[in-house]
Amino acid sequence: MKPTCLNQKELAERWTISHRTLERWRWAGEGPAYMKIGGRVVYRIADIEAFERYVMNTTSDQGAPT
């Protein structure tokens, strides 16, 4: 069965970043949407993939000539 959510540690491993970066993004209101369930932070796969698409589009647009 395919997981529908990742916890903070799993997402940090997926993106090879520190879990502290995810904590900072949440505090700053940046990064992917998340849910807090019973004190645990989880990220839905759909929200992760949407954020990845957004970042990919944003970063590729920055290098485009105007």
Helix/strand/coil for 42 = strand
Q: pLDDT (tens digit, 9 = 90+) per residue, 13-37? A: 999 999 999 999 999 999 999 999 9
Query: Nearest CA to 40 among 4, 5, 7, 3?
Result: 7
pLDDT (tens digit per residue) in 34-64: 999 999 999 999 999 999 999 988 766 665 5
Domain span at residue 53? 5-59
In a domain, 33, yes or no: yes
Question: In sequence order, what are the beta bridge partners of 37?
Answer: 40
Alpha carbons 22 and 20: distance in angstroms, whole number: 5
How many structural domains are present in the chain? 1
Residue 64 resides in a domain: no
| Among the listed residues 62, 34, 36, the one whose alpha carbon sits nearest the alpha carbon of residue 50 | 34
Regarding pTM above 0.95, the answer is no
Tell me if 66 is assigned to some domain: no
What is the phi/psi pair of residue 44, to 5°?
A: -70, 140
For residue 40, is it within any domain? yes
